[in-house]
Amino acid sequence: MSKQAILVTGGCGFIGSNFVRYLLADGQFDGIVVNLDALTYAGNPANLADFAEDSRYVMVEGSIGDEDGVSRLLDGYSISAVVNFAAESHVDRSIDSPEPFFDTNVTGTLRLLQAVRKYWKELSAEEASAFRFLHVSTDEVYGSLLPEDPAFSEENPHRPNSPYSASKAASDHIVRAYHHTYGLPVVTTNCSNNYGPFQFPEKLIPLMILNALEGKDLPIYGDGMNIRDWLYVEDHCSAIYEVLQRGRVGETYNIGGKCERPNIEIVDQICSFLDEEDPREDGSTYKDLKKFVTDRPGHDRRYAIDATKIETELGWTPAETFETGIRKTILWYLENREWCEDIASQKYQRQRIGTKV
């Protein structure tokens, strides 16, 4: 993948920005990374501000739904791969307002694929063969598991239970159709719950960390026994890069952290770590802030990923345990209070770095 140009969509979001950082900081990729992001509420250009002057990085404000704009980027930078992170991704927001999720995740993905297909058809035979479109998706498309059920494999049918997961399931199907109908060289990844630096604080782990530090309630849905498989974001990025380089065209790869935990255990572990690293002034434990709240409508009980396929085919396994990953994550939030304050004040939404498509 060296000496090439990758188009990363949604590269100012949580996972997207970590992937851009992985490419540019890792040293194994010495091409150009073009970041196309609509800079909606979860897109924070400050996540990549330290690369703003890097000649290998190009920031462009724009939407995946803008076919003409995407086409200009593909042609202008001779893009050799597209990694599609761009998505609305918060279940609670999708329950309150489903339409934006279908606008971006379904219609936006369709228009992105249209632009990519037109571009790909004009490439030389060698370039077309090497080109890849990698679609980043979620384990939520598979639905919910009972405690005794085996983990999701790539053979599980899509059974989404929220507007968010339904929109992502639809996008998975569109990507698959563009390969089988038009021959577009695609690969899809379905990941478990990510956590790590730069995560927008509407998600469980950063929300608990920041609420705890501010002395606010730690809201826990239902009985707190909803189980997720937790994946450290840098492990996810390394897996995506392996799939981009060596994954089989037309295939789907599940990416998991081998780390099933109920939500209540996650909250307790965060509280215990903060009690040691940043104890409360009054001497009480952060666990005193826990508050059980009415469960989310249609809340899936359990997700779990069977990552056998990527492990056996590509030799990938997660480097972090939950214990090492959550420690890195909490320390990052403790050391980056200014980033957190900018999120809380929405200062980041007034920042614009780069050009418009």
What's the CATH number for 5-356?
Answer: 3.40.50.720
Q: What's residue 354's pLDDT?
A: 60
139 is catalytic: yes
Is 140 assigned a catalytic role? yes
pLDDT given for residue 158 in this prediction: 98
**Which residue of the set 22, 57, 119, 164 is catalytic?**
164
303 catalytically annotated = no
Residue 61 confidence (pLDDT): 97
Question: Of 37, 61, 139, 306, which residue is the catalytic one?
Answer: 139
pLDDT of 28 reads 72
pLDDT by 10-residue block (mean), the chain, 357 residues: 83 97 85 96 91 94 98 97 94 93 97 98 97 98 96 97 97 98 98 96 92 96 96 98 97 97 97 96 96 93 97 98 96 92 64 60
pLDDT score for 1: 45
Per-residue pLDDT at 345? 66
Q: What is the pLDDT of residue 2?
A: 44
Residues 114 and 67: beta-carbon distance below 8 Å: yes
Output the pLDDT for position 12: 96
What is the pLDDT, as a whole number, of residue 3? 62
pLDDT at 144: 96
**Exactly one of 37, 66, 88, 140 is catalytic; which is it?**
140
